[in-house]
Structure formats: C-alpha cells, structure tokens
C-alpha cells in the first residue's frame, strides 16, 4: 500500500458523552466522574484522562499493549451501559479506538461559490455520495453538515384573529403529518399491509394542513396563519473558502492513500464541468503531495548515488566493478520492498525516510569488497575466481562487523513503547532490510560477477591514462602529507589527545555560550500552516465571527498587495480555508510554487499579524513549524477539590511566569457562559408547581 502515514493502533480508547445544554460542573458530577469511577480500575486500563466542555465529556483511556482493543471496547461499553441513573438528557455515549489515521484525511475537497446555503447543501450531498463511491475511500467527513429544517413562523395576530393557540397549531400538525402502520388485511390473494404515509417532507406539504373546518365547510389552512419555509438548522458554525460560503469534506482512505488522492482530484476535475456557473470545487490539504515529493527524492538520490559510485569507482578501479557495485543499491531496495508486505510495512513517509537514510551507507560494503577483489585481480597472480574468493575472505569480517554495528544501532528502536515506537518501526525495519540485502549482495552476488570474464569494454587507453594519473596524485598526497601527519600524531600521542580534548571543550563552550541554539526539535518551516483563533467562553458567537472576519480581511489585503507587486504571475497563495465555531476559528493556507520562491513564511506571518491588529481577549496562534503546537511545555495538575485546584494552578502559573524567557502561561480552565439559575418561590409549592414543570416550560 502507498499511504502518507502508517495506520496503527495507539492503544487508546476514546469515550464521548454528549449532554446538550449542560454546564461543565454538572457534567463533571453527573457524567464524567461516574464514567471514570466505573472504568479506571478495570484490568488493562493504564490511565484515564478527561476533558469537560459545555455539553460534552471526553475520556481518553490508555490501555496496555497486550490487551486486545476490540475486547476492551466491548467491555467498556457493557460497563457504561450498566451504570445506573445516568442523566436522561445524555444523547449518546460512543466508545471507539483511537488510531493514527484519525488525525487528518489524505485530501480535502471544498465546494464554494456565491449561492444560498440550501442550494449549496443539496449540491454537497450529491458530491459527498460520489466521493464515498470512489474505490478505496473509507470515510467522507463533513465538519459543517447541517440538517434540513422546515421553519414555521406563526403570527400572533392571526392566532388572535382565528381564536387559536400554539397548542392547537401543534396538535393539527402532529395529527395530519405522520407515517403509521395500521396492521394487515387478509384476502384470498394474500395479505395486504395497511399504512398511512402522510408525513410532510417540505414546506409545500405543510402549507396545506387543515387547522379547522367550520360549519359551512370553509377550511383554515396552516398557510393562513404562518409563514413556512424550507431551510437548514441554525448552527453556530461557518465554513468559508477564500471568503465564500463553502461545504468541505475530509477524505479518509482504506488503503493506498496516494491512489485515492489521485482519483479524488480526477473526480473534482470532471465534476467541475457539471456544476452551475458560480460554484467551484477545489482540493486542498493534499497530503499525498509530500509523499510524491519524497518518492521523487528517493529516485533522484538513488540515480545520483548510482552515477556517483560508478564514476568514482570507474576512475580509480574498473568500470565493471563500478557497475556491479552500483547495482547493489537497487538490489538492496528491491529486496526490502519484497519483504515489507510480509512485515506489515507500507510505503509511507516514514518508510521512505528509512530508504533515504539507508541510501548513504548501502554501497559501503560493496565498494570495500569490490576494491579488495580488484586489487588481487590486478596483481595477476590468481585467476579471477580465486582472486574473488580471497578478496572477499580478506575483508569479510570487518564488513560484516560494520553492518552489524549499524543494525545494533537501529534494533532497539523496534522495541520502543507507545506512539514514538510505532513511528520509529517503519524506519528501523527498512534500514535493517536494506542493510541485510546490501550485505548479502556484497558477499555473495558481487564476487560472482567480478569472478566472471570481463564483458564490459570501453576505451582502455583513455581510462588507463586517467586512472594512472589519479592513482599517482593519490599516492603523492598520501606520501607527502597524510603519512607524515599520521606519523607525527602517533609519535606525539599525548599532544594529539590533548588537542582533541581542547577542540571538544571549545565545541561545548560554543554551545553553552548560546551561539548555537538548542531546541527540543528541529524548526522545520512548512509551506502550508494553520492559524488557530480562540475566544473566551463568555464571548458571544457574533463577536467570535467578527474577529475571524478581521483575520480574513487582513489576509486578503496582504495577498492582494503581494500579487499586485507582480500582476502577471499566479497568486502567491493557493487560498484560505476558514472554519468558524462558537468560541474558536481555524484558518489554513498554503503557498503556491510562486509563493515558495518569492516569500519567507516568517515574514509573511509577521506582516499578516500586524495587519490583523488588536483582537481584544481573543487569542491567536500561528502554527507554521513542523510539529508546532501553541505551547512548548505542558503540565498536568490534579486535585480532589476544585477550589484547591484553582488556587494551586494560579500559584504554579505565577511561579512559571517568574522564570526568564517564559511567556504566555495559560491554563485550560476558561470562564464559562453567564448562567441564570431558576428556583421556585415558596408559594409555588402551595399552588402545586414543581421544578420539573418549570424545567419543561423553559425548555
């Protein structure tokens, strides 16, 4: 299979409980704490972490690697179902395994343009169905899918005019719009099923519902007292592509991510021709591009390595030695590819990195053995076969030991636990396979070719003169410079060791002085990056939306200015995807090939940030480095008492902020939405009113 990143089980299970409209404290007491208590002491459960937000409880359960995930999922489901007296308002509790491929899809598709949301949704449903039928597609996920709704706005004036109540209207709709089975009728011809199928599916059907019929036979219809429209549910979220309303889909694959991405792009190109004017389909966040670039790098490195080995060995040894040593590169790679499916390793970014890492050391053993055999054959004292055998015997032990040293360096990584070990396994397996095949090729296959009669012919006189001149130059360098320097170093061995120690200390001092920056990971700048916007829980959606629009407008102004500098060239950016939610927003953009040549990512982000201006209490993070996150260090604090936890967190934050170089010390606790607490007055009980009745009326 060809995929961007390998799929593997993280030995984690996520439990999600949805409790709409409930606050975090209520969810913690009535849902989250009870779920944790029920599962934390089960055999195989290593750790339980919970995250509570308004309307939702999320539990991350780490399980032991030796435990079967499916059996644990079934056991946890049974345990949760047996918990008594969970709140009735819980809509759904899902238990599922967390896998690496859940992080992101292989490619995203967007449908955008100037049209109304209802039309966009209907076109989007057709496109989603087509995408799901593409071979290899496992899941098509829409993060902003809206449910259809029929909006009925009843006029209070009309109700008074016709002496109706909302209850009368509701009852009329309920009794007239329904699907219901009415049993069976047995006839000589067989049984007939009786059904009523009169459920209204659109606004036109509802308009003709009769509310009342008077003595004269005149009918009062729903359309006479209400405005009825087809529409979509009101949801506090939006999706934009380059500022236009959009529908977006994330494509997940069963296998061969690269092939699926190719088929998706082919479908988008064909579907665009069938769309009405004003609607556009776009692919973005194509992870397969990185795979293609890595494949091209592997091919280029392999060919350049082959050419370089052949050139150098031809100049110093012989053309046939050079060719057969170079062939060892491709033999080792093909051997590894042959065994990879048996070891459940796919062609992905990690395994390709393993090939690139191995490329530099694949031909070392072939060069050593080839040179040893060639030297004996040049002496002419032995036949080609005997020279090949003795040449291999002379250097076999050091060659085998050098390969074993490399294997020992990678073997421990196969046994690393957790997520890091899973990520290292493809790299280590590829390295081990290529080195083993390279050793087999160098010890067994290469000598057999060198032992045969020469079949490759070339201009001997020209090559002989070049080879003779190079050998003379190398011998002069060794005798004049290298040998005297080596003799001096050995004679003054204590001085040599002292010089080495001084150089080592100078290197350490250079690092400690800060001239060489230390980092936990390499700062790899990406050509595509994500911008995260977070607003406080007590900020209304309209304010979050205005802040997101502020970020969008700053981006478009910067883009237009950069494009205006060279109007005859394509845009420097592919586009801007915007996802707005109730208290957050996300922006994704990618440089075009022209943008990669003209722009520096950090300069672009600094200009964008300046144009955005003041965002008030809203926090913005630009994640433009590989593996970037909004924070560098993270600490977990826990306590049985919520008030003690808040005090401890404030003290800990103050201590961290006191360190030089530490900034943006934040915690996960956020100010919640303002709440109105309802209680019954004392006289309400005498009137027979209960809290349950009050809750039903408000709801």
Among candidates 590, 580, 582, 592, which has minimal Cα distance to 550?
580
Instruction: Please give the structure tokens belonging to residue 570.
Output: 């394509």
Among candidates 103, 602, 530, which has minimal Cα distance to 349?
103
Q: What's 525-625's CATH class?
A: alpha beta
Contact residues for 62 (Cβ-Cβ < 8 A; gap 6+): 11, 12, 45, 46, 47, 48, 49
pLDDT of residue 628: 52
- What are the tens digits of pLDDT across the range 388-400? 888 888 888 988 8
Task: Please check whether the domain covering 290-458 is classified as CATH 1.20.1640.10.
Answer: yes
DSSP-derived letter for residue 359 is H
Question: How far are the Cα atoms of 318, 335, 370, 403, 683 from residue 441, in angstroms, in the given order?
Answer: 19, 10, 11, 13, 94
pLDDT of residue 367: 81
pTM (2 d.p.): 0.67
**Superfamily assignment of 9-102 in CATH?**
Multidrug efflux transporter AcrB pore domain (3.30.70.1430)
Note whether 257 and 287 are within 8 A (CB): yes
Classify residue 180 as left (phi > 0), alpha (psi -120 to 50) or beta: beta
Pick the CATH number of 148-232 from 1.25.40.10, 3.40.50.300, 3.30.2090.10, 1.10.20.140: 3.30.2090.10
Among candidates 303, 299, 451, which has minimal Cα distance to 373?
451
Strand-pair category, 279-284 with 573-580 = unpaired
Strand-pair category, 56-63 with 9-18 = antiparallel
User: Of all residues in the chain, what percent carry a pLDDT higher than 90?
Assistant: 11
CA 7 – CA 468 distance, rounded (Å): 55
Upper half-sphere CA count for residue 359 (Cβ side, 13 Å): 19
| C-alpha torsion angle, residues 293, 299, 305, 311 (rounded to 10) | -130
Question: How far are the Cα atoms of 367, 378, 464, 593, 606 from residue 316, in angstroms, in the given order?
Answer: 11, 12, 10, 42, 53
pLDDT of residue 619: 86
CA 592 – CA 597 distance, rounded (Å): 9
Q: Where are the domains of the chain?
A: 9-102, 107-147+236-286, 148-232, 290-458, 525-625
Alpha helices in 521-641 (DSSP H): 541-565, 593-598, 601-612
CA 15 – CA 34 distance, rounded (Å): 13
Instruction: Please give the structure tokens belonging to residue 58.
Output: 């999320």
Does the fold of domain 290-458 match that of domain 107-147+236-286? no
pLDDT of residue 456: 45
Q: Which residues of the chain register pLDDT less than 50?
A: 101-102, 455-456, 458-459
Burial of 435 (0-12, 13-18, 19+ CB in 10 A): buried
Pick the CATH number of 107-147+236-286 from 3.30.70.1320, 3.40.1640.10, 3.20.20.150, 1.10.3720.10: 3.30.70.1320
Note whether 86 and 199 are within 8 A (CB): no
Q: What angle do CA 484, 488, 492 make, to 5 degrees?
A: 175
pLDDT of residue 93: 87
Among candidates 90, 421, 40, which has minimal Cα distance to 49?
40
Note whether 5 and 425 are within 8 A (CB): no
């Amino acid at each position: 299979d060809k995929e961007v990143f390998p799929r593997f089980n993280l030995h984690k299970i996520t439990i999600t409980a949805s409790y709409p409209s409930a606050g975090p404290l209520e969810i913690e007491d009535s849902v989250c704490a009870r779920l944790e208590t029920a599962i934390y002491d089960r055999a195989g459960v290593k750790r339980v972490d919970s995250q509570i937000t308004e309307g939702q409880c999320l539990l991350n359960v780490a399980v032991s690697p030796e435990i079967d995930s499916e059996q644990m999922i079934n056991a946890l489901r049974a345990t949760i179902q047996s918990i008594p007296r969970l709140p009735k308002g819980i809509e759904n509790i899902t238990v599922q395994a967390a896998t690496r491929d859940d992080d992101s899809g292989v490619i995203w598709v967007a449908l955008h343009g100037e049209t109304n949301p209802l039309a966009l949704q209907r076109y989007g449903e057709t496109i989603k169905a087509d995408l799901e039928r593409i071979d290899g597609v496992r899941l098509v996920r829409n993060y902003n899918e809206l449910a259809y709704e029929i909006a009925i706005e009843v006029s209070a004036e009309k109700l008074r005019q016709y002496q109706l109540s909302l209850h009368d209207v509701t009852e009329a709709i309920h009794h007239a719009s329904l699907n219901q089975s009415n049993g069976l009728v047995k006839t000589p011809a067989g049984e007939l099923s009786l059904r009523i199928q009169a459920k209204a599916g659109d606004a036109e059907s509802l308009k003709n519902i009769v509310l009342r019929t008077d003595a004269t036979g005149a009918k009062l219809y729903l359309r006479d007292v209400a405005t009825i429209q087809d529409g979509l549910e009101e949801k506090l979220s939006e999706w934009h592509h380059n500022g236009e309303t959009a529908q977006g889909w994330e494509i997940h694959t069963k296998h061969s991510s690269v092939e699926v991405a190719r088929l998706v792009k082919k479908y988008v190109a064909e579907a665009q021709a069938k769309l009405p004017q004003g609607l556009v389909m776009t692919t973005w966040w194509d992870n397969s591009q990185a795979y293609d670039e890595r494949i091209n790098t592997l091919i280029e490195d392999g060919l350049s390595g082959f050419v370089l080995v052949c050139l150098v060995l031809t100049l110093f040894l012989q053309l046939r030695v050079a060719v057969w040593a170079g062939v060892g590169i491709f033999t080792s790679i093909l051997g590894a590819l042959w065994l990879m499916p048996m070891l459940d390793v796919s062609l992905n970014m990690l395994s390709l990195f393993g090939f690139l890492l191995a490329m530099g050391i694949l031909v070392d053993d072939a060069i050593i053995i080839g040179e040893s055999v060639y030297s004996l054959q040049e002496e002419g004292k032995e036949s080609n076969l005997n020279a090949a055998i003795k040449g291999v015997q002379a250097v076999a032990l050091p060659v085998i030991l050098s390969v074993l040293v490399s294997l020992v360096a990678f073997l421990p990584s196969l046994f690393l636990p957790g997520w890091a070990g899973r990520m290292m396994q493809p790299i280590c397996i590829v390295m081990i396979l290529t080195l083993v095949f390279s050793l087999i090729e160098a010890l067994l296959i290469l000598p057999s070719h060198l032992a045969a009669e020469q079949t490759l012919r070339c201009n001997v006189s020209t090559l002989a003169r070049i080879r003779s001149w190079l050998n003379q130059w190398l011998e002069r360098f060794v005798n004049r410079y290298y040998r005297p320097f080596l003799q001096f170093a050995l004679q003054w061995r204590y001085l040599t060791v002292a010089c080495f120690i001084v150089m080592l200390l100078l290197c350490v001092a250079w690092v400690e002085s800060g001239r060489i920056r230390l980092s936990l990971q390499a700062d790899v700048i990406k050509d595509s990056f994500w911008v995260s916007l977070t607003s406080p829980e007590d900020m209304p959606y309209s304010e979050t939306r205005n802040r997101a629009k502020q970020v969008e407008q700053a981006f478009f102004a910067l883009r237009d200015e950069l494009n205006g500098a060279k109007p005859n060239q394509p845009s420097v950016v592919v586009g801007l995807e915007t996802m707005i939610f109730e208290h957050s927003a996300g922006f994704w953009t990618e440089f075009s090939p022209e943008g990669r040549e003209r722009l520096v990512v950090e300069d672009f982000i600094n200009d964008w940030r300046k144009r955005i201006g003041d965002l008030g209490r809203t926090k913005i993070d630009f994640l433009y480095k590989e593996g970037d996150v909004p924070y560098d260090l993270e600490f977990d604090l826990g306590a049985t008492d919520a008030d003690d936890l808040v005090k401890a967190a404030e003290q800990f934050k103050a201590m961290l902020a006191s360190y030089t170089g530490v900034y943006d010390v934040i915690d996960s606790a956020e100010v919640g939405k303002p709440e109105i607490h309802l209680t019954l007055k004392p006289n309400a009980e005498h009137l027979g009113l209960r809290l349950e009745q009050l809750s039903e009326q408000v709801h």
